[in-house]
Structures are given as structure tokens and as C-alpha cells.
Amino acid sequence: MSTLFENTTINGMNLCNRIVRSATWEGMCEPDGRPTSKLTDLYRQLALGGVGLIITGFTFVRPEGKQLPGKMGIHTDDFADEFKTMTNAVHEARGTIAVQLVHAGGQTDSANAGRRPLAPSAVEVDQFPEIPAELTTREIQEIISAFGAGARRAKKWGFDAVQLHGAHGYLINQFLSPLTNRRTDEYGGTIENRSRFLLEVYTEVREAVGGNYPVLVKLNASDNLEGGLEINDAVYAARKLSELGIDAIEVSAGTPASGKKAPVRQKIDTRAKEAYHLSLAGKIKEAVSCPVMVVGGMRSYEMAEKAVTESGMDYISMARPLIREPGLPNRWRDGDRSPATCISCNGCFAPGIKEGGIYCVVDKEEKGQ
């Protein structure tokens, strides 16, 4: 059996392989964030397809932190039945599922947030659709509490873990980045201060779920932006999280304003273009004692296996390949180790806006549907 298909454990959470479905927006929820049966079935299919750990699409902890339509919310007890149905369906399919908690901060807009967006600083930057309002200290504490409340609900409703979204220019990342964080109080300035919000969110979540429940984070190793978060500061934040007891770090990079070095790149059609965050993830791995996951352009079995056996990654994460092929892990496990059929066109996201849910448009066209 290949290393990729070893059984592993993260703080008591048993995983059947080292393949993680990285979070992506699916656009399959009601306008208020209530999950639908369509979304539940998507996660069920991923479980049946052999994914070791499913991480849900980014799930807002407060309504003003919602970025896109059809985005899932975990800000209210009203959705308990739908979430329990979701986790039960995944478990019945012998899958494991974590919910990703997020506040989009300045990367939302007034239409989705229902008000002027909130961010660490009221700055005009390319990644913000409008100039946000600067968070007060009281509002910061309220959002920190909301992360804890969301995590508490997640555990109660059957999720196997939670993941904090600290990447891709969302609120946690906005505090870490000197480009979007111009504060002069205890939350701004030095990397020690810019890390404070992340560490306080983690501490709140840990207190909410206890020590024996997995808490993960998705962390930018670099914003790939002039003036943004850079690797040395990301290593500092990762090391502090590891010292505090984070259970795993998924390494990514980039923001929507990062151009060709944005998180979701196109035309991953050669081996050389794969695993484009692997070197950054290696620097994080050297600094921490917790497991590390790497996302970004994994397309071939060989590269995924090498990331574990040669580069020291504990897990590899994928999103777009599993939109087209939810059964890709089983295919590789059963011996067909040809690359993922995903062509990295990003066409899968348009139906999320126009048709109430993402899907692979290329696959649909090829099948004549």
C-alpha cells in the first residue's frame, strides 16, 4: 500500500488516507446560509469516493462575514437539523468531515454583508470591493466569540473537526497582513500584534470544543502581494499556533488580488506546474510539530505521493479535481493512477452563481448533458 493510503490519526480523528478535500465555495445553500440536501449529497459523494477528510466550503460565523450567495452559515442554532443530516450522511458513507469557519471581513461587500464590510483597517486595496469600516475592539471580541460559538455548534452537530480559514485574504489573513492591517493598537504593527487576532480566535475555539477535538487552520504562507504577508511572518504565526496546540495546518498562499499567484491557478497541465505551494509548505513544516497539509495544483498521483514521501507533507489537499471526480481517491487506490481529469479551467465556479451550485462544466459538456 502506498504512503498516500496509510491510515492516520489527528487528535483522535481517524483518517483512511492522506487525501484531503480542501474547502471550496459550493453555492448550494439557502440565502440565509441554511445548507440544502444538494450540498449534503455532494459531501456524501466525496465520502463514497474515498476522500480521507472532507473540509466543507467556507462557513460564515456572522452574517456580515458572508461573501458570496449560497454560502453556508453556522451563526445560528436554527440550522441544527440540516447540519445533523449532513454529518450523518457523511458518516453513513464512512467519511470524515470538518467544517471550515470564516469571516470574510473586507473581502465581502455591502450587498452580501448587509452593511458596510468590516476589516482591521479602513483601507483601499485591490482585494477589497469597497473601503470597509475599521473594526472596533468590541467588534473584534464579538467576532472572536462568534468563532467559538460556531465551533461549539459544529461539535454538537456531529462534525469531526473544525478548520479556521486564515488564508486567501479573509479576515484572519487581513489581520496578519501589513497591507490590510494598519492598526496602531494591540492588534496591529508587529507580527506579534498582527497574529493576536488569529491566536485569540484559536484560543476561543479550543475552549469551546475542548482539548480532545481536532482544530485545524488554513494559513497563507505568503499573500504573494507587495506589502502583504510574507513567509517569515507566516512561519511566526504557524509556530505560535503549533505551540498552543493546533492539530494541523493546511498551507496555501495568495489572495484574489495576487494575479498569476492567486490561490486558484489555471492550466495546471504539466508536472512542473503542480504543487505550487509545496516549497512554502516545507518552510512551515520545518517550524512546527503538528501535521501539515499542502494545497495547490495537485493533479497526479506521483506528485501527491512525492509530497508525502520526499517533501515531508503529512497530507495533500485538493478541491477542483474532486469537483470533477469525487471518486478520484478510490480510483488511485484501486490502481488507476492516471492524473486527475481536471483541466484547471475554473469553469466550475460560474454555475455556483448562475445555477445554484458548482459542477464541472467540461465533464457535463463531454457527456452531452
pLDDT average, residue stretch 109-114: 94
In a domain, residue 17? The reply is yes
Rounded distance, CA 69 to CA 30, Å?
8
pLDDT average, residue stretch 21-50: 97
Would you say residue 363 has pLDDT above 60? yes
Closest CA to 85 of 126, 51, 129, 38: 38
**Grid coordinates of 116:** 458596510
In a domain, residue 350? The reply is no
Among residues 170, 202, 213, 315, which one is catalytic? 170
Rounded distance, CA 235 to CA 343, Å?
32
Evaluate if pTM is beyond 0.75. Answer: yes
In a domain, residue 275? The reply is yes
pLDDT average, residue stretch 123-140: 98
In a domain, residue 331? The reply is yes
State the pLDDT at residue 81: 98
State the pLDDT at residue 339: 96
Rounded distance, CA 181 to CA 131, Å?
13
Q: Catalytic annotation on 236?
A: no
Per-residue pLDDT of 303-323, as tens digits, reads 999 999 999 999 999 999 999
pLDDT average, residue stretch 158-183: 98
Helix axes 137-156, 80-92, angle to 10 degrees: 50
In a domain, residue 241? The reply is yes
In a domain, residue 351? The reply is no
Question: Mapping DSSP to helix (H, G, I), strand (E, B) and coil, where does residue 4 land?
Answer: helix
Cβ within 8 Å of residue 347, ≥6 positions away: 360, 361, 362
Domain count, the chain: 1
Rounded distance, CA 367 to CA 300, Å?
23
Handedness of CA 124, 128, 134, 140 (dihedral sign): negative
Question: Per-residue confidence at 366, pLDDT binned at 50, 70, 90?
Answer: confident
User: Which domain CATH number covers 104?
Assistant: 3.20.20.70
Burial of 69 per CB tally in 10 Å (0-12, 13-18, 19+): middle
**Grid coordinates of 13:** 480523528
Domain extent, residue 57, equals 3-344
State the pLDDT at residue 351: 93
In a domain, residue 145? The reply is yes
Would you say residue 360 has pLDDT above 80? yes
pLDDT average, residue stretch 318-335: 97
In a domain, residue 98? The reply is yes
Mean pLDDT across the chain, nearest whole number? 97
> Which alpha helices (H) appear in 100-195, and where do they start and end?
110-113, 137-156, 171-176, 191-194
Rounded distance, CA 5 to CA 62, Å?
37
Would you say residue 369 has pLDDT above 70? no
State the pLDDT at residue 319: 97
Specify the pairing of strand 8-10 against strand 13-15: antiparallel
The answer to whether 310 and 267 have CB atoms below 8 angstroms apart is no
Would you say residue 327 has pLDDT above 70? yes
**Grid coordinates of 214:** 481536532
Question: Mapping DSSP to helix (H, G, I), strand (E, B) and coil, where does residue 337 land?
Answer: coil
More confident residue, 368 or 44: 44
Per-residue pLDDT of 1-28, as tens digits, reads 579 999 999 999 999 999 999 999 999 9
State the pLDDT at residue 367: 84
Diameter of the chain measured on Cα atoms: 58
Quote the percentage of the chain above a pLDDT of 70.
Answer: 99
Would you say residue 204 has pLDDT above 60? yes
Give the DSSP letter string of 203-265. HHHHHHH-TTS-EEEEEES---STTS--HHHHHHHHHHHHHHT-SEEEEE---TTSGGGSSS-
